[in-house]
Structure 1
Amino acid sequence: MARVSAAALSDRRLLPEVRRVVVKVGSSSLTSPDGPLDPERLRALVDVLAARVNGGHQVVLVSSGAIATGMEPLGLARRPRDLATQQAAASVGQGLLVAHYTRAFAAHGLRVGQVLLTADDTMRRTQYRNAQRALDRLLDLGIVPIVNENDTVATDEIRFGDNDRLAALVSHLVHADAMALLTDVDGLYTGPPNREGSRRIAEVRGPKDLDGIDVTARGSGVGTGGMVTKLESVAIATASGIPVVLTSAAQVAPALEGADVGTWFAATGRRASTRLLWLAYAARTRGRLVLDDGAVRAVVERGKSLLPAGVTAVEGEFEAGDPVEIAGADGTVVARGLVAYSAQEAPALLGRTTAELRADLGEGYDRELVHRDDLVLVRRRR
């Protein structure tokens, strides 16, 4: 089978030819109207994905649903609100959820492997690389990885994101050719789907195509992610060269066949190095460097390294090599980078040229505060 890479995938009609796809399914797509897991919905999804795998493709499934699956055994009528009960439900439900997937894929002669991740696994460089190697090996062995957040020990991520952001990071981590986000609506609409006059948006080529689009409507009561988190996930994937199709689980088959269903998001950037994507989206920053206007222009417009002369303040506690935010005087975060000095060393260097530092402190103190190779541009208000 000829493989179409993400870089060449400018048209959704080429989706049937790509080799590796990450598919994310939310809790609301796997549950019955009153909350518990619906095995029939799960099997219907697996039937489609198994057919693709048996056709010579590779699929990584990022699946929510552990908490929803644990609700019935615990006698819970609705999704719990407190963190401890959510963790308990996830602990009970995760094994049951994977058991359902194991049986459903086994009916097609396929095996699955469970991969549980927390935000720390994508924030810490060593764990990120370990996860990457494990997923690649599972795919090489013909196993379908079932990825979920480790909700039993997770904290903030158990309540926000619903695996959407994780799916985008996993897509880059495994060098996916495309990503499919499956939800309980059949695509992105110009307004709430049930509002008269709202229309499905078939294709998005860039951020300007989303101007004026209302995505603030709440999601279902079982899952936690709404359209806002899905568009954040889309932005991560497309900015790093991975196109996305967003649609309902009921339309996954035609979507993966390249039909005009759901919403197609074209890639807007090139695939970044794993290290830079980790730095941009997954690394937990330890502090902040505040820049004067000239340094902001040098970093953002001219692609320069960050020198001590352009830094006016240091915030936070960090060691050399830690990720830090790089911000302008007005609080706008313009970049992230790996800082070359600790928070204790850096203040003595601020506002001084490399020549002055070399003369006063000796060799080794005339290097960049953040080298260009260890820096990635972002845009976010404080």
Structure 2
Amino acid sequence: MNDDSAVLLHVAGARRWQTKRADEISLVMPDSSPSPLQRSRQSAKPMAGTTHRPSKPSPPPHAPKRLAPSRAPLASLALLLLAAAGILLYSQSQTTPPSSQIDVRSSESPALSSPTVESIDGARAIWELPAAPARAVLFVAHGCRCRPENFWPPSQSCPGCVGLPEDVAITARALRRRFAVLAVASNEECWSLEQEVGATKRAIQSWTAKNGLGERPVFALGASSGGYFVSRLATEMNLAAVVIMISEGAFGPAGAPAGYPPAMFLHMPKDHRRAASVERNMKMLRGNGVEVKEVRSVELPLTPTLLSDRIPGLDHGLSERILKMFSEEGFVDDRGYMRKDGRATPWKDAVVKRGFWEEVSRWAEHIQEELNLAYGYHEMTSLQADEMFDWIEEHLT
């Protein structure tokens, strides 16, 4: 029904009833509260990376109003006002809800609900295709003592998935930008630069062919040990571009061979030794005619809602209690910055001592990743994910 038709119907009704007495008319605004936040997949972490859970909206500014009882001469006016209110409510229902009611986390990190877990040429792999036809393939290589399960949250199709926030946010953004995502497990705790390069190349080629992606460009992203690995993988297979995260890459004395793909170094300059190595390898690559992009990820302070903002499902109240404990234990300075790397901070013992480990335990790995990220020394990061994917998309052919 359009607005003109609604007006005509309401006016006609008013004329039919204008001789009747209107005892009382109440205009009550509908409940505008959003539905409860649902945990996806994903965030999808997500991710440029920071996502926010919407706060509870304020009460509607218009409280329920009552019109005073009126005699027949006023009934028509009252009913016309009711008709106008109905039209206004109808039109409001067709518009986008206020930003305070939008689930920002779900819009940033769409649900990852259908990953496939399988063995590809003997290697454990997890992969997912985007909802729309894929434009390209993103191969992701985990770091030491990590696993493909970090890149997807637990689901019916992947009950063993962990879903670490930074990893999941990268997967979510890749899928939203129509990249098919493939993660393969290393044979040991860390990647072997000699034995696994050839096997992984064959696994990627086998998987892309099986899923009709053989003609799509392939990009590779690796963090830490995975960064060394993808830098070496780029010398053995045709990659459209490579992202080397918190790693200087492994090139050997001969440097990069001819035809090496464009390379992004996404690193944390607080790690001075690695930052110097990154600078040296970027200079070498540029000298060999390779396109190079540098992105730096720096430390950030712990705020009361940092953990709940970045970890889907973690409660705001729990996030605030953890930060309060960090402050009282001296784990952060006066500005909220971590005094030590998250791995070197005895925060778990402090939580146990204060008696709320049961609430925290299910989030321990997720919190650990965010503490490492906040310290800004060596951790998977999605803070610059949009900048990274913008650069990757420049190399789509």
Q: TM-score range by the shorter chain?
A: under 0.3
Larger C-alpha radius of gyration, 1 or 2? 2
Q: TM-score, normalised by structure 1?
A: 0.28
Q: Scaled by the length of structure 2, what TM-score is found?
A: 0.27
Comparing both structures, which one devotes a greater share of its residues to strand?
1
